[in-house]
């Protein structure tokens, strides 16, 4: 997860599109328990928080726990940071969540413009 987030941040077109995107959804602040108090449970807002911090802060580190809480698995549960998962699965989930989060904004096509391509799954038994 962290390696993919670093790659997203290091892609300027992706980073700045995320920072400029406005989903017109107010923050959904919830108590996240061990992930941190009062976390905005919106993945786009967490991406913006993380990228804004990394862009504007002089600090060398960022605590991704609130992002991990807002990033839910396919069942709607916060990602378990103790379990290693496949990078492709994470990438598919991130793209799906972001595309759904920005589909009603002028930035709905930016992900295709930055990471456009086609994917094909072939199952061979």
- Say whether pLDDT at 50 is over 90: yes
- Say whether pLDDT at 11 is over 90: yes
Residue 44: which pLDDT band, with cuts at 50, 70 and 90? very high
Please, what is the average pLDDT of the chain? 86
pLDDT at 10: 93
Number of other residues whose CB lies within 10 A of the CB of residue 15: 19
**pLDDT top residue among 79 and 71:** 71
- Say whether pLDDT at 33 is over 80: no
The model's pTM is 0.82
- Say whether pLDDT at 109 is over 90: no
**pLDDT top residue among 37 and 10:** 10
């Amino acid at each position: 997860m962290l390696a993919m987030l670093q790659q997203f941040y290091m892609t300027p077109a992706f980073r700045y599109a995320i920072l400029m995107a406005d989903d017109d959804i107010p923050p959904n602040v919830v108590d996240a328990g061990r992930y941190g108090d009062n976390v905005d449970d919106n993945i786009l807002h967490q991406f913006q928080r993380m990228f804004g911090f990394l862009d504007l802060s002089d600090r060398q580190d960022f605590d991704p726990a609130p992002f991990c809480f807002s990033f839910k698995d396919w069942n709607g549960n916060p990602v378990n940071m103790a379990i290693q998962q496949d990078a492709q699965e994470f990438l598919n989930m991130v793209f799906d969540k972001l595309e759904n989060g920005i589909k009603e904004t002028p930035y709905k096509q930016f992900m295709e413009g930055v990471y456009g391509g086609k994917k094909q799954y072939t199952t061979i038994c």
